[in-house]
Structure 1
Amino acid sequence: LLSFKLYELIDFNKKIFRISFPIIIIPSLYLYFFTNLVVNPLADVLIAFIFIIIILYFATFPPKLLTNRLFITLGLCSFGLYLLHFIVIIFFLKTDILNKLNLLPQHGSSAFLTYFAFVFLMTFVLSYISYKFYEYPIMKLGKKIANQQPTLKEVQKEIKVQA
């Protein structure tokens, strides 16, 4: 929230920010991870400061790797991913469908990665469907209703006219 407010308030000089970012972040990360100079309360403030700077940097210079159609779709579906992943995990655990279909390898790490891939894929599909047919239409309806509501100034003006 603080990063968003700072991003709104500060007009970043992109050239200076691109140069100052590593100058600020590298020593800060070094202090946080590799020294005992920072005691707990100060460490919390330092890591919060680091995250604020990183968020501002990515907002100013979005990396091409993260600004493609896949990641934008993931961002749009993120609420559904958050809500539905538990249901999908429980479904796979209760039905044991991956074992019944012989889709899970017997080795530990490869079984985990396969399980993760199936859970993620199913959660993503359900989240996308939820976003497209439920969340987005509800958001559009909410915006339509919000735009029809009179503003406070219009209500005050109407009250004065009636008085």
Structure 2
Amino acid sequence: MNAMGALSWAADAVVVIYSLTVAITAPLVVAQGILPRRLFPAPLVVFKLWYAAKFDDYLTAEPPSFFRGLNWLELIFQWPLNVANVYGILADCPWAATTSLMAGVSTLTSMAAILGDILGSGRATKKLLLVYVPYVAFAVVAILRGLTSGSRTQAGSLASYAWKKII
């Protein structure tokens, strides 16, 4: 695998890992910020409360209106988009570049609002920033993956690498 193939593979891996994270957490954790608590099993509610306390995440503990709106965006738009992203990248579908670009731009836009509030509120802690800043890094990688995927070769994709290892 050449350097571009390795870089392409790494970008795919980052986007797949992030997208899997969203695919799992959006309906189980993020949705708790907008749907009635009674819809969720007690261990998930406890996990969300633990997370908010452990990481000083005041946005999750007491979500302001803008954050609730971003939760709706994540549940209705980003969640299915990230599920498609995982499938598209692993199945080596040509449209995965588009879903990657869309997920990256949507995430970066949301993170601008969230980090603006965290930094502007004076409530930024190192732990809280360590939770949200990686989303910015993902967004940049996903955007770059989406914009440069036309120059990728079949041999450099995560899916083709995985299939070669299986076969």
Per the normalisation by structure 2, the TM-score is: 0.24
Q: Does 1 or 2 have the higher relative contact order (CA < 8 Å, sep 6+)? A: 2
- Computing the radius of gyration over CA atoms, which structure comes out larger, 1 or 2? 1
